[in-house]
Every structure is written in structure tokens, then in C-alpha cells.
């Protein structure tokens, strides 16, 4: 199982899309391990987006991500990071394929609704920014055998 951090950004909440986006992850078979609504502080935003500090869009990104509440969640699935990123679609809604979250709900080239970790290392770092270890749930789902073929040594 691979964990990833998902952030439903301010525009997703302001537009009333949070439930529909979360449902897509649950419908796909992701397991929700943690979820909370919060305001991202400037300090937290600077830590999370430090890799973008020198980029021209950085000031707008800081204003955007701290402008309104977000929902942060940790989800997991086999191959979860790649699957979540495929579900999100291209960074800009205007370029994202229909059927993806950004393709179905976004037009903006600035406001892009959702963030997802891009690697296992990034996921580990990002999850630690938003959640304490004891905030991540561990539980068995009764439908796991219907989400994955569990007849072998590893779920498929």
C-alpha cells in the first residue's frame, strides 16, 4: 500500500466540490486514513511549497493556498500515488482531460483544485507536515477482497 497526501485547495471548497472529489477517491477504492479541514498558515505553506520559492508564481501560490480553508487527507492504495495523480489530471484545468478531477471541474490555469504528492518521498514529507503519526488511522476494510484480488501473496 502506498500513502499519499491529497489537499482539496481553497477553490474546491469555495465551489462546493469537496464531497464530490472525496467520493471519487473512495469510489476508486482508496482507503482514507486521515482527513481534516483547516486553514494553511503562511509558515506551513512556505514549508510545503519551498521547492517553488524562486518561481514567478510563488507569491500568488502563497496567497491562494492561505486564502481560504482546505481539506487535507491521507489516502492509500496499491500504487496510490500514480493512480491519484492520474485521477487529478494535468496541472491546469484548461489542459486536463475530461474524466479527471481537474478536467471535469477546472478551467483556471492558476486555481487547480487539488494537490497530490508526486513521489513516496514527497508523500512522507508532506504527510508529516499536516498530520501527527497518531492521527493516521489503521483499520481493515471488509470490502478489501473486492477492491483487490487478494488470492495471491500480494493484492493486485
Instruction: Supply the residues annotated as catalytic.
Output: 115
Q: Report the chain's terminal Cα–Cα distance, integer Å.
A: 11
Q: Which helix (H) or strand (E) holds 114?
A: strand 114-116
Q: What is the rounded CA–CA span in Å between residue 113 and residue 102?
A: 7
Q: What is the rounded CA–CA span in Å between residue 115 and residue 137?
A: 21
Query: Taking a C-beta distance cutoff of 8 angstroms, is the pair 9, 115 a contact?
Result: yes
- Residue with the three cell numbers 477517491: 25
Q: What is the rounded CA–CA span in Å between residue 96 and residue 23?
A: 19
DSSP annotation of 57: T
Q: What is the rounded CA–CA span in Å between residue 81 and residue 98?
A: 20
Amino acid at each position: 500500500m502506498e500513502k499519499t497526501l491529497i489537499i482539496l485547495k481553497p477553490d474546491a471548497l469555495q465551489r462546493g466540490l469537496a464531497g464530490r472529489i472525496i467520493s471519487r477517491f473512495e469510489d476508486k477504492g482508496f482507503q482514507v486514513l486521515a482527513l481534516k479541514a483547516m486553514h494553511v498558515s503562511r509558515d506551513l505553506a512556505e514549508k510545503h511549497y519551498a521547492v517553488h520559492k524562486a518561481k514567478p508564481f510563488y507569491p500568488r501560490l502563497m496567497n491562494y493556498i492561505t486564502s481560504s480553508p482546505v481539506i487535507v487527507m491521507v489516502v492509500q492504495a496499491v500504487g496510490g500515488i500514480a493512480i491519484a495523480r492520474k485521477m487529478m489530471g494535468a496541472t491546469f484545468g484548461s489542459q486536463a482531460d475530461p474524466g479527471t478531477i481537474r478536467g471535469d471541474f477546472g478551467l483556471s490555469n492558476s486555481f487547480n483544485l487539488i494537490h497530490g504528492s508526486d513521489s513516496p518521498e514527497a508523500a512522507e514529507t508532506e504527510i508529516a507536515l499536516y498530520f501527527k503519526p497518531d492521527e493516521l488511522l489503521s483499520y481493515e476494510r471488509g470490502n478489501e477482497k473486492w477492491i483487490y484480488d487478494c488470492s495471491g501473496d500480494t493484492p493486485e
